[in-house]
Structure 1
Amino acid sequence: MRGRRVNQKTEARHILTLVHKHFCTRLSGYIERPQLIRAKVPIVKFRDKVSCVEFDLNVNNIVGIRNTFLLRTYAYLENRVRPLVLVIKKWASHHEINDASRGTLSSYSLVLMVLHYLQTLPEPILPSIQKIYPESFSPAVQLHLVHQAPCNVPPYLSKNESNLGDLLLGFLKYYATEFDWNSQMISVREAKAIPRPDGIEWRNKYICVEEPFDGTNTARAVHEKQKFDMIKDQFLKSWHRLKNKRDLNSILPLRAAILKR
């Protein structure tokens, strides 16, 4: 089985290398910024010139299919999730802490961090849908049935009436002052912070965010203390600034919020 996984990864890298060359030579009139990221899950990043939509393309990433539908379900479970995630991703990008290829947080890790925060509030805004609907979100569910999972989950009715501004401020405060980066792992699957495992993938890592299906660390790209300190510093500075000024523009200028990258 291990040999099969190695062969699949090698095949995926080979296919994506060919795709990258094809994009650079034949599709340059339609796309821009093609970039091959040789990560654990290799991807080709590019942007469509007409729509300005950015794409990440990968091959043989079955877990990626499962977690796409998991995130989609969370996004439509509660109306505040999508706008909060969007603002936080814009904020992180503006402060240059949202680029796994440069040793900071991937967008996927950021989304999981937002979901985790909403799950751990004194009055939670989100539950763990993997716990409530294990038959729909189990890793054992056949791949061709995964797309049906969101249809089985009704909207979640939370008693928490916090507005988006308060949730953004609370998110920054949580990771600036409350979350224990040294001993805890972010787990959306468990809907709580749990002790770090003792496995090699988690040992001596600066940030631990559990992938909900295969249990790997989605924040493994943060492997330099300098980058980790920069991330923590941005959480702390932005929390203080937003708390004092109560103005989103103080941490995310309007131009940066609407600028197409």
Structure 2
Amino acid sequence: MRALLRDGVALGYPRSPEVVRARVPILKYTDAASRAAVDVCIDQEGGPRGSAWVRGRLRARPELRPLLLAVKLLLRRHGLSETYTGGVGSYLLFVMAERMRDPLCASVDLGAKERFSQKE
């Protein structure tokens, strides 16, 4: 991770790089050319599989994309978009939106209200 950070900075790629200490170390930076925020983690086998699943679901449900972008912007403006600080990341946001848009899933009672309501 540090070598990737060092080599990228030497080549002039990232702007404001930072290694975040989370459950999985993450290299965060802003791409100098596009100004896109980038998070990189290494040796996490679930990442590519999860990304492929999300891309497939977005192809099947393109109406989710503008909703997700709007909610991501709202979360970011309120400082709630970083998972390592307790916020909602892109994957979790997608799973929540996917569940709410799926009529079969939305009609299933998981008993959450009973399990998570406060006992008196």
Unmatched 5+ stretches in structure 2: 113-120
Give the direction of change, closer, same or farther, for the CA distance of 1:17–1:193 in structure 2 (3 Å limit): farther
1:85 corresponding residue in structure 2: 68
Shift of 1:192: 5.3
Give the direction of change, closer, same or farther, for the CA distance of 1:192–1:32 in structure 2 (3 Å limit): farther
1:44 has 2:27 as partner: yes
2:5 corresponding residue in structure 1: 20
1:109 corresponding residue in structure 2: 92
Given that 1:74 and 1:81 are in contact with CA atoms closer than 8 Å, whether structure 2 keeps it comes out as: no
Q: Secondary structure at the match of 1:44?
A: strand
- Between the two proteins, the alignment pairs up a number of residues equal to 111
1:74 corresponding residue in structure 2: 57
Q: Distance in 2 between matches of 1:41 and 1:85?
A: 24
Whichever of the two has the greater Rg, that structure is 1
Q: Distance in 2 between matches of 1:192 and 1:31?
A: 45
Q: Distance in 1 between matches of 2:69 and 2:84?
A: 20
Per-residue CA deviation, residues 69-113 of structure 1 (Å, 9 max, x unaligned), is: 110011111231111111111111112211123222222211221
Identity of aligned residues (%): 25
Query: Which 4+ stretches in 1 moved above 6 angstroms?
Result: none
Q: Distance in 1 between matches of 2:94 and 2:80?
A: 13
Q: Distance in 2 between matches of 1:193 and 1:98?
A: 28
Given that 1:99 and 1:105 are in contact with CA atoms closer than 8 Å, whether structure 2 keeps it comes out as: yes
Q: Distance in 2 between matches of 1:73 and 1:62?
A: 18
Shift of 1:195: 5.6
Unmatched 5+ stretches in structure 1: 1-15, 129-190, 197-261
Quick one: which amino acid aligns to residue 19 of structure 1?
L
TM-score with structure 2 length normalisation?
A: 0.77
Bigger RCO of structures 1 and 2 (CA < 8 A, at least 6 apart):
1
Given that 1:116 and 1:192 are in contact with CA atoms closer than 8 Å, whether structure 2 keeps it comes out as: no
5 Å-filtered alignment, 1:194-205, equals 194=110
Q: Is the strand fraction higher in 1 or 2?
A: 2
Per-residue CA deviation, residues 40-67 of structure 1 (Å, 9 max, x unaligned), is: 2222111111111222111111111111
CA RMSD, 1 decimal: 2.3
Given that 1:43 and 1:56 are in contact with CA atoms closer than 8 Å, whether structure 2 keeps it comes out as: yes
Q: Distance in 2 between matches of 1:48 and 1:193?
A: 43
